[in-house]
Chain A
Amino acid sequence: MENILEVNDLHVSFETHRGEVKAVRGVNLTLQKGEALAIVGESGSGKSVTTRAIMGLLPKPAGRVKSGGVLFNERDLTKLSDKQMQRLRGSEISMIFQDPMTSLNPTMTIGKQIMEVIRRHQNVSRADAKNRAIELLGLVGIPNPEERIKQYPHQFSGGMRQRVIIAIALACNPHVLIADEPTTALDVTIQAQILDLMKDLQKKTNTSIILITHDLGVVANMAQRVAVMYGGKIIETGTVDEIFYEPKHPYTWGLLSSMPRVNSKNSELFAIPGTPPDLSNPPKGCPFAARCPHVMKVCTEVMPDYSAVSDTHQIACWLQDERAPKVEPPEEIQIGGDHE
Chain B
Amino acid sequence: MVKAVEQEKLIEVKNLKKHFKVDGKATLQAVDGVSFHIYRGETFGLVGESGCGKSTTGRTLNRLYDATDGEVIFDGENVHGKKSSKQLKALNRKMQMIFQDPYASLNPRMAVEDIIAEGIDIHNLARNKREREEKVIELLETVGLSQQHASRYAHEFSGGQRQRIGIARALAVDPEFIIADEPISALDVSIQAQVVNLMQKLQRERGLTYLFIAHDLSMVKHISDRVGVMYLGKMAEVAESEELYGNPLHPYTQALLSAIPVPDPNFERNRERIILKGDVPSPVHPPSGCRFRTRCPLATEVCANVVPRWIEAGEDHWVACHVYDEEYNHNFKQKSI
**Contact between B189 and A258, CB atoms less than 8 A apart:** yes
- The number of residues on chain A lying at the interface, defined by a beta carbon within 8 Å of a beta carbon of chain B, is 47
Chain A interface: which of B120-128, B148-156, B217-225?
Answer: B217-225
Q: Which chain A residues lie closer than 8 Å to B190 at the CB level? A: 42, 254-255, 258, 271-272
Q: Is the CB of B275 within 8 A of A339?
A: no
Contacts of A240 in B (CB 8 A): 265
Contact A188-B217, Cβ < 8 Å, known A193-B275, A258-B192: yes
Given the interface contacts A187-B215, A189-B276, A271-B194, does A244 sit within 8 Å of B256 by beta carbon?
no
Which one of B11-19, B91-99, B266-274, B299-307 is at the A interface? B266-274
Of the 9-residue stretches A27-35, A172-180, A261-269, which lies at the interface with chain B?
A261-269
Q: How far is the CA of A337 from the CA of B270 in the complex (A)?
A: 12
Chain A's closest residue to B49 (CB) is: A187
Give CA–CA (A42, B160) in the complex, Å: 12
Does chain B have a CB within 8 A of A43?
A: yes
Residues of A within 8 A of B276 (CB): 189, 192-193
Cα–Cα, bound, A256→B193 (Å): 11
> In whole angstroms, what is the CA distance A173 to B147 when docked?
57
Name B's interface SS: helix
Which single member of B50, B158, B197, B265 contacts A244 (CB below 8 Å)?
B265
Contact partner of A271 (CB less than 8 A), chosen from B197, B222, B242, is B197
Identify the closest chain A residue to B194 (Cβ).
A271
The answer to whether B268 and A220 have CB atoms under 8 Å apart is yes
Q: Which residue of A lies closest to B267 (CB)?
A: A339
Interface pair A275/B261, CB less than 8 Å apart: no
How distant is the Cα of A268 from the Cα of B161 in the complex, in angstroms?
A: 19
**Residue A241, interface by CB 8 Å:** yes
**Would you call B49 and A42 a contact (CB within 8 A)?**
no
Are B222 and A42 neighbours in the complex by a CB distance under 8 Å? no
The answer for the CA separation of A47 and B221 in the assembled complex, in Å, is 29
CA of A268 to CA of B1, assembled, Å: 10
Query: What chain B residues lie within 8 Å of A267 (beta carbons)?
Result: 1, 200
Whether A216 sits at the interface, judged by CB under 8 Å, is yes
Partner of A337, one of B222, B245, B264: B264
Q: Does A160 contact B (CB under 8 A)?
A: yes
Quick check: is B298 within 8 A (CB to CB) of the other chain?
A: no
Q: Is the CB of B193 within 8 A of A244?
A: no
Contact of A195 among B192, B193, B222, B261 (CB under 8 A): B261
Q: Does B189 contact A255, Cβ atoms closer than 8 Å?
A: yes
Q: Which of chain A's residues have a CB closer than 8 A to the CB of B194?
A: 271-273
CB-nearest residue of chain B to A196: B275
Query: Is A219 interfacial (CB-CB < 8 Å)?
Result: yes
Our pick among A195, A256, A269 for the contact of B263 (Cβ within 8 Å) is: A256
Contact A269 B217 (CB under 8 A): no
Which of chain B's residues have a CB closer than 8 A to the CB of A255?
189-190
Contact between B275 and A218, CB atoms less than 8 A apart: no
Closest B residue, CB atoms, query A160: B279
**B298 nearest CB across to chain A (Å):** 16
Closest partner residue, chain A, to B190 (CB atom): A272
Please encode chain B, from 187 to 216, with 1 for each CB lying within 8 Å of some chain A CB and 0 for all others. 011111110110010000000000000010
Is A270 part of the binding interface, using a Cβ–Cβ cutoff of 8 Å?
yes
CB distance from B172 to the nearest CB of A (A): 24
Which of A256, A260, A265 is within 8 Å of B219, CB to CB?
A260
B197 and A269 form a contact (CB under 8 A): yes
Contacts of B159-182 to chain A: CB distance below 8 A: 160-161
Asked if A192 and B259 make an inter-chain contact with CB atoms under 8 angstroms apart, the answer reads: yes
Q: Nearest-CB distance from B186 to chain A (Å)? A: 10
B188→A262 contact, CB < 8 A: no
Query: Is A290's CB within 8 Å of the partner chain B?
Result: no
Checking B50, B215, B262 against A217 with a beta-carbon cut-off of 8 angstroms, the contacting residue is B262
B36-62 CB contacts (< 8 Å) to partner A: 49-50
Decide if B10 is an interface residue (CB 8 Å cutoff): no
Bound complex: CA A159 to CA B273 (Å): 18
Q: Which 6 A-B pairs have the closest CB atoms?
A: A217-B261, A187-B49, A260-B222, A216-B263, A271-B193, A192-B259
15 more contacts with CB within 8 A, not counting A191-B261, A220-B262, A245-B265, are: A43-B188, A188-B49, A189-B256, A193-B275, A196-B273, A217-B268, A221-B261, A255-B190, A258-B192, A260-B218, A260-B222, A261-B263, A265-B221, A272-B190, A275-B160
A interface list, Cβ under 8 A from B: 42-43, 157-160, 187-193, 195-196, 214-221, 240-241, 244-245, 254-256, 258-262, 265, 267-273, 275, 335, 337, 339
